Chains A and B, each alone.
Chain A
Amino acid sequence: MNKSKKHPEPPRWATYLLHLFCADHLVEEIEGDLEELFFQRIQLLGEKKARIRYVLDVMSLMRPFVFKNKSSDYIQPLPGSSMIRNYLTIALRNLLRQKLNSSLNIIGLAAGITCSLFILLYVRDELHYDKQFTGSDRIYRITLENIGEKTRHWAATAPLIGESMAQEIPGITEVARFHRPYPDRIFSYTSTNGTSERFEEKSGFYADPAVVHMFNMELVKGDLTTVLKEVNTIVLTTAMAKKYFGDQDPIGKVIQDDMDNIPMKVTGVVKEFPFPTHLQFDYLISMSTRYQTLSKEDLHNPGWSSFYNYVLLDPSQSKTTVEAKFPEFMKKFYAPTGETPQQIFSTRKLHLQPIQDIHLHSKLEKEMAPNSDSMYVYIFSVAAALILLLAAVNFINISTAQAFKRMKEVGVRKAMGASKSQLIRQFVGEALLLAFIATSLALFLFRLIIPLYNTLSIRPIEVDQLFTLQNIGFVLVLVVLVGWLAGSYPAWFIAGFNSIESLKGKKTPRSSIKWVRQGMIVFQFAVSVFMIFSTLIIYQQLRFFHSKDIGFDKQQVIAVKVYGKMYNKIETIMQTLRTNPAVSDLSMTSTLPGDRFSTDMFIPVNDPQKEFQLRHIWVNSNFLSTLGIELKEGNGFDHLQLHQTAYILNEAAIKAMNLDSPLGMQFVSRGDTGKIMGIVKDFHFASLHSTIEPLVIVHKPFQTNYMLINVAGNHLPETLELLKSTFHSLSPETLFSYTFLNEKLNMLYASENRMSQVFQLFSGLTILISCLGLFSLVIYTVELRTKEIGIRKILGSSVLEVIMLLLKNFLQPVLIATLIAWPFAWWVATQWLQNFAYHIAIDWKVFAGSALLIWLIAILTVSFQSIRAALTNPVNTLRNE
């Protein structure tokens, strides 16, 4: 501090403090006052006291009005704050003044957003399958591709292929297998007080202990290290444990496999996967249990594709480095078949399939369960985008129409000095506000619809899992995106008004805007026509699936599961049922049409080198007559001994094997030799997605799992009761489990069915949104032309003529939309139908139907307002000028 007497100075720190808190525009005068007083006081009181007073004065200046405060900058108030308030007021007033238009606008947008939210949720779910295992990016499934005349790509592979691979190829750290019991198990649990529960379990596997670690299964009960190791042990999911044991502790309890008569001890309860995965099961039985009944030949048979082999690769390895070592491995692994390396490589190929690809990109033979398809993800994403776009277009349409009512406002604003960018910001802001309101409404609707969605969807939405930061952020982005998308064009357009014209109240829009608006209507209706067209096609194809003559009788057939102790009584049961007039015919079969028919070798006795891999079914004598399958040549299995092996082939099999005179030829299948007894016409034992495959029907009454009963007349419910009581009385300790063949076959088209429902919903929504847009446009135009209509009427136009005038104006874009949409819809439909070996032809009715429907809807939408306009008394419209 400078203490020289000649140049005394006020304390610098106090000055510095003043600068810290004092507002900029006040600092000059205050500092001046302080300094002046300081020097005065030096004269009067001496320097010391002056310094003290200086500091005290600075302290006393710490008052609110002196403080730095950016927003209370009272000399030059910020230009925005009051304007923003004004914008908000004007926006809300406009919303309220045009209640109809605003609500149409908001409803359209909200409907679009709600719908896209659901679709996005579904799509996200589909894309997240199998992504949440710790090693998701390193787990692969071994698949086998048969190359040759008939390529088949198998999801399941040989029992020991994974294990041997881990030994031969370095870099495979873990191997885990699943193996599905066939047919579906029936389990029973007898509690200590003697009551027993019995259920058919359709979803479960034999599994290695390694699955627990590889797939991060979470045990609710049981020991992680020992589970699935012991023979005859089982692990249940929490849901299944609850089904059998209620609230009791399941550990140590015994569940009986009624099919194989094996008691199994429950050693663990596993939590269901909390994320989407293709691994769906209710129980897992230890693999060692399966090994008990497995012969050594089967176990070491490299050609038995029946185990799902999963491998975990070391992080240092990649799919390609491991696959590069496959040829060497295959030479060794397939050596026991006696094939030369050349033969091995020419007939098969091994692949590693990333586990994350399974759900959307895998349609192999013997999948664990039918997978989804990436096509559906694309379709749904495009649909979501389209609907959102439609809603935005709608918004643009309504906003631009409304804008003319606000010409004066814009004119005044411009005259007052509003810049174009300011106006744009104002109108984009308004759009954002509307988008925000619409989104809030959409979220509300979304919450309401969730229960409905959950009944339709496979994976229900958990409400409390939705409120993540990510989702909230996403919705915010959506609001801004939609608001910006929908608001920027109207804003740009409005801001471009000539201020003089707009103040004069000139309402005739420039022709460019007319074009844009017509274009948007065309776009909306083109999408609507497209959706209707697609919906019709899907519907027709579905009806075709259900109504096509599939070559056998499916309507009145009941399939009853036959297993375990039931076999002992099966002859008696059949005898009893045959005598009943309600049963027209019955037979036994190994597989039900609609299930996957297994493939097996079919070898001619006279030429054993020639092997055919064909689908097989094992049946007893009455199979053909029960299902009403038509015999083309030869005889059925009518006069055969019980143990005699014999074959009937379908036409496709004859063609595939290229046989000239097949009847009487000897063939070997599964070690038994028999003659071909007959040929049947092709029938659709699988879904209509694929062509009819070659089929061998084998006479082998003891290889069967189901009894097929064809019911006579219209007595299905009564007959079912009869069957139930017959089975119960003759075989009391077994479960009577049945399916209707018809329903089973319909299940094959479940995904098409769901798609049909979803498309109906979508097309309804697109039509709704398009009509909202058209409707508001009609209101606007009619308003614009009220005087014209009045004059026309005065000059002698009839009501009908006026209506026609207005209709013509609006139906033109709809007509153009139809013409644009047709070829596009036709092309997409053709592509989709390629998925099915058997499909409908697209005929003119679909074209006509889609057009008629949309025209009818458009006419209805337009005519209401048009008629009202045409009926108004011209006096009312012309009076006030």
Chain B
Amino acid sequence: MKGTYLGEFEEVVLLAVAIRSGDAYGAAVTSEIEQQMGRSVNLGAVHSALHRLEEKGLVNSQMGGATAERGGRRKRLYSVTIAGKRALEEIHQLRNQMWESIPKTAWS
């Protein structure tokens, strides 16, 4: 598929969207990544990654309803598309396959 190459950060963001599925918006994804990886992440980097993922068709988005927190501002809620899921699976499988291929002697 054209344009489905995933950068490392994009992969992380996509995973975070999957983790927070149903409630994945900019701030949530950011804090999820920060918690999981233990490092600070720029909101701009996350938004730009989400934007690119959406262009690639790996996530889609819609505006959520108004909430009491964050001054009543609406959230843009992202969800992983089927293509996105397949991409994650492919990566996962590829990694696994590579893990399997490491000879036992490598660790001794």
Contacts and interface: CB of A to CB of B under 8 A. Distances in A.
A500 to B, nearest CB: 41
B71 A60 contact: no
B60 interface: no
Which of A32, A37, A56, A62 has most chain B Cβ within 10 Å?
A32
Contacts of B74: 28-29, 32
Contacts of B25: 29, 32-33
Interface in B34-71: 40, 42-45, 47-48, 51, 63, 69-71
A33 B48 contact: no
Which of A36, A59, A60, A63 has most chain B Cβ within 10 Å?
A36
A33 B76 CA distance: 9
A61 B43 contact: yes
A66 B40 CA distance: 21
Interface residues of A, number: 22
Given A28-B73, A29-B76, A65 B42 contact: no
A57 B42 contact: yes
Contact of A33 (B26, B40, B45, B63): B26
A33 B25 CA distance: 8
A60 B27 contact: no
A63 B70 contact: no
Given A40-B27, A40-B31, A65-B51, A32 B71 contact: yes
Grouping DSSP codes into helix (H, G, I), strand (E, B) and loop, the A interface class, with mixed when no group exceeds half, is: helix
Contacts of B70: 32-33, 35-36
B75 interface: yes
A31 interface: yes
Contacts of A363: none
B43 A37 contact: yes
Contacts of B48: 63, 65-66
Interface in A53-85: 53, 56-63, 65-66
A31 B31 CA distance: 16
Contact of A60 (B44, B51, B73, B75): B44
B27 A59 contact: no
B79 interface: no
A29 B75 contact: yes
Contacts of A28: 73-74
A443 interface: no
A782 interface: no
B44 A36 contact: no
A649 B51 CA distance: 109
A33 B27 CA distance: 5
Nearest to A53: B40
A212 interface: no
Nearest to A64: B48
Contacts of A57: 42-44
A570 interface: no
Given A37-B31, A40-B27, A32 B44 contact: no
A30 interface: yes
Interface in B9-39: 25-27, 30-31
A40 B51 CA distance: 24
A29 B63 contact: yes
Interface string A6-50: 000000000000000000000011111111110010000000000
A61 B74 CA distance: 18
Given A63-B48, A65-B48, A32 B73 contact: yes
B47 A30 contact: yes
B20 to A, nearest CB: 13
Interface in A108-134: none
Which of A33, A58, A61, A63 has most chain B Cβ within 10 Å?
A33
A33 B43 contact: yes
Contacts of A36: 27, 69-70
A826 to B, nearest CB: 77
Contacts of B27: 32-34, 36-37, 40
A616 B38 CA distance: 122
B73 A35 contact: yes
A396 to B, nearest CB: 49
A37 B30 CA distance: 8
A60 B43 CA distance: 7
B30 A33 contact: yes
B63 A34 contact: no
A28 B70 CA distance: 10
Contacts of A31: 71, 73
A33 B40 CA distance: 15
Contacts of A34: 27, 43
B90 to A, nearest CB: 26
B26 A30 contact: yes
A875 B69 CA distance: 82
A34 B44 CA distance: 10
Given A28-B74, A32-B71, A36-B69, A62 B51 contact: no
Contacts of B76: 29
A704 to B, nearest CB: 102
B45 A60 contact: yes
B82 to A, nearest CB: 23
A65 B46 CA distance: 13
Interface string A514-540: 000000000000000000000000000
A40 B27 CA distance: 10
A715 to B, nearest CB: 97
A34 to B, nearest CB: 6
B92 to A, nearest CB: 28
A26 to B, nearest CB: 8
Contact of B44 (A35, A40, A61): A61
A66 B31 contact: no
A710 to B, nearest CB: 100
Contact of B42 (A30, A32, A60): A60
B75 A61 contact: no
A714 B26 CA distance: 110
Contacts of A35: 70-71, 73
Contacts of A61: 43-44, 47
A28 B64 CA distance: 11
Nearest to A63: B48
A61 B26 CA distance: 12
A34 B30 CA distance: 10
Which of A35, A40, A60, A63 has most chain B Cβ within 10 Å?
A60
A611 to B, nearest CB: 106
A66 B46 CA distance: 12
Contacts of A32: 25-27, 70-71, 73-75
A53 B74 CA distance: 22
A29 B26 contact: yes
A59 B30 contact: no
A28 to B, nearest CB: 5
Q: Which 10 pairs of residues, A with B, have the shortest CB-CB distance?
A: A60-B44, A32-B73, A33-B26, A60-B42, A57-B43, A61-B44, A36-B27, A33-B27, A32-B70, A29-B76
Given A32-B70, A32-B71, 20 more contacts: A28-B74, A29-B25, A29-B63, A29-B75, A29-B76, A33-B43, A33-B70, A33-B75, A35-B70, A37-B27, A37-B30, A37-B31, A40-B27, A53-B40, A57-B42, A59-B44, A60-B45, A61-B47, A63-B44, A66-B48
25 contacts: A28-B73, A28-B74, A29-B25, A29-B63, A30-B26, A30-B47, A32-B25, A32-B26, A33-B25, A33-B75, A34-B27, A35-B70, A35-B73, A36-B27, A37-B27, A37-B43, A57-B42, A57-B44, A59-B44, A60-B42, A61-B44, A62-B44, A66-B44, A66-B47, A66-B48
